[in-house]
Amino acid sequence: MREIVFDTETTGLEPLKGDRLVEIGAVELFNHLPTGRDFHIYINPERSMPVEAFRVHGLSDEFLADKPVFSAVVDDFIAFIEGATLIAHNASFDIGFINAEFARLGKPPIPPDRVIDTLVLARRKHPMGPNSLDALCSRYGIDTSKRTVHGGLIDSVLLADVYLELIGGRQPDLILMPDAAAEVSDDGAPILVAPTQQRPEPRPFRVTAEEQAAHQAFIGKMGDSALWKAYLPEEAGEA
């Protein structure tokens, strides 16, 4: 199962009133395991950056001036998320902006049934809250020391860890092979290869001498053609 955990940064809160995307960050999971593949792009919003939004993510007009516009990166983004379930925190916000950008370019929207909202999962699991990304990272002991401002990619990485905790603390794909070697297939999916395990010495039978003697006597009554005789110790078979 392929999942994409993603986050966006924007110029504001109203995609239908002219606010635009300025950053998309996304990380890939396969069967709830990070594959190491990610998608990250800064976007020229073709409008000025409000002070309030700049204070959240620190992306200035000057920084974004030479970045590509959304139409130049949309196909790369669509290719990265193709066929995957999408996971976001307060997903209606992020999907609302993505779909508004898609609509400007005549692209079909992302349907709701393709999206998992981690805020909804968190509110079900922790109804008393708080359930912001920061609060959930604190609750689950996830290190946020590298996060000085909101950012699409770093928030996606943190959210992936939060998501795995919300669905069971990585238990859905618990691996009972601690020495398994991880490989990656051509499509980025992890392959687990268990090492060959063999006892250094054969395990001894936990039977008493009396039990062995009774077993041999029982087999002796079966006649010389009994198949069991082939598995008796050599000295017992000659007795």
Instruction: Give the type of residue at 157.
Output: V
Lowest mean pLDDT segment, chosen from 97-106, 112-121, 181-190: 181-190
- Report yes or no: 191 and 30 within 8 Å, Cβ to Cβ: no
- pLDDT confidence tier of residue 24, bands split at 50, 70 and 90: very high
Provide the pLDDT for residue 178: 43
**Rounded distance, CA 93 to CA 16, Å?**
12
**Rounded distance, CA 189 to CA 183, Å?**
8
Residue positions annotated with a catalytic role = 150
- Report yes or no: 37 and 76 within 8 Å, Cβ to Cβ: no
Write out the DSSP string of 197-208. ---SSPPPP---
User: What are the chain's domains?
Assistant: 2-174 (3.30.420.10), 209-238 (no CATH)
3-state secondary structure of 110: coil
Provide the pLDDT for residue 210: 81
- Report yes or no: 38 and 58 within 8 Å, Cβ to Cβ: no
